[in-house]
Amino acid sequence: MSTSKLVIGSRGSMLARAQSQWVKGLLKTRWKGLDISIKVISTKGDRILDVPLAKVGGKGLFVKEIEESLIDESCDIAVHSMKDVPDLLPDGLILGAELERDVPYDAFVSERYTSLDDLPESARVGTSSLRRQAQLLATRPDLDIVPLRGNVDTRLRKLSEGLDAVILAAAGLRRLGLGDRITSLLTPPEFVPATGQGVVVVECREEDDRVRELIAPLVHEDTRVAARTERAFLSRVGGGCQVPMGAFAVVDGDRVEAMAIIARPDGTTVLADRDEGTRSEAESIGQRMADRLLQAGGREILDELVEGD
Residues marked active site are found at 84
How distant is the alpha carbon of residue 253 from its chain centre? Answer: 24
In terms of C-beta distances under 8 Å and separation of at least 24 residues, what long-range contacts does 68-75 make, across chains too? 69/9, 69/39, 69/41, 70/9, 70/203, 70/204, 70/205, 71/205, 73/205, 74/7, 74/9, 74/39, 75/7, 75/8, 75/9, 75/39, 75/41
CA–CA dist 46, 11 (Å, integer): 8
The closest of 269, 262, 258, 267 to 244, measured between CA atoms, is: 262
The dihedral through the CA atoms of 72, 77, 80, 82 has a sign that is positive
Distances (CA, A) of 135 to 59, 106, 142: 21, 11, 12
CB 84 within 8 A of CB 58: no
DSSP structural state of residue 33? T
Distance CA 293, CA 247 (A): 12
Asked if 28 contacts 36 with a C-beta cutoff of 8 angstroms, the reply is yes
